[in-house]
């Protein structure tokens, strides 16, 4: 089953630190390729903290790992601002020319057992087309 969630991108100091050192490290991947979900939403999806989720919308899709939130926010999810979250951000802008980095609508579902967390090299080759 899939859940329709609204995703807000956030800053995370550990992810920032890893990204400054390398975009290609496992550390940056593990700090970036994740989605923080409310307990209720995680249970609704039947997954546990650390399991892989497929996050998908009209713009694109990524496989990232689930993180249990310490806070309560059903229907709302958070992702660190990264190449992974940008796979889901539309280039349509509001009147002021700002794209929707916050409030990304996407469907979230458990990833297939064979699907690994999306790698940065995969993202780069998608961008290069």
Q: Note the residues at the interface with other proteins (CB under 8 A).
A: 6, 8, 10-14, 16-24, 59-60, 70-71, 73, 76, 78, 81-83, 86-91, 93-103, 120, 123-124, 126-129
If the CB atoms of residues 53 and 62 are measured against other proteins, the closer one turns out to be 62
In the complex, the smallest distance separating the C-beta of residue 21 from other proteins, rounded to whole angstroms, is 5
If the CB atoms of residues 105 and 110 are measured against other proteins, the closer one turns out to be 105
In the complex, the smallest distance separating the C-beta of residue 108 from other proteins, rounded to whole angstroms, is 16
If the CB atoms of residues 47 and 89 are measured against other proteins, the closer one turns out to be 89
Q: Which residues, in sequence order, are CB contacts of 108 under 8 Å at separation 6+?
A: 2, 3, 4, 5, 35, 37, 41, 45, 53, 54, 55, 56, 77
Q: Which residues, in sequence order, are CB contacts of 104 under 8 Å at separation 6+?
A: 6, 7, 8, 9, 57, 85, 88, 89, 90
């Amino acid at each position: 089953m899939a859940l329709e969630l609204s995703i807000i991108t956030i800053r995370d100091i550990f992810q920032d630190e890893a990204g400054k050192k390398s975009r290609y490290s496992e550390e940056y991947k593990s700090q970036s390729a994740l989605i923080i979900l409310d307990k209720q939403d995680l249970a609704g999806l039947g997954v546990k903290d650390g399991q892989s989720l497929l996050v998908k919308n009209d713009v694109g899709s990524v496989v990232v790992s689930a993180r249990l939130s310490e806070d309560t926010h059903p229907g709302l999810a958070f992702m660190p601002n990264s190449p992974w979250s940008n796979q889901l951000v539309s280039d349509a802008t509001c009147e002021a020319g700002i794209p929707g980095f916050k409030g990304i609508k996407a469907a979230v579902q458990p990833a297939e057992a064979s699907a690994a967390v999306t790698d940065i090299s995969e993202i780069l080759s998608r961008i290069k087309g």
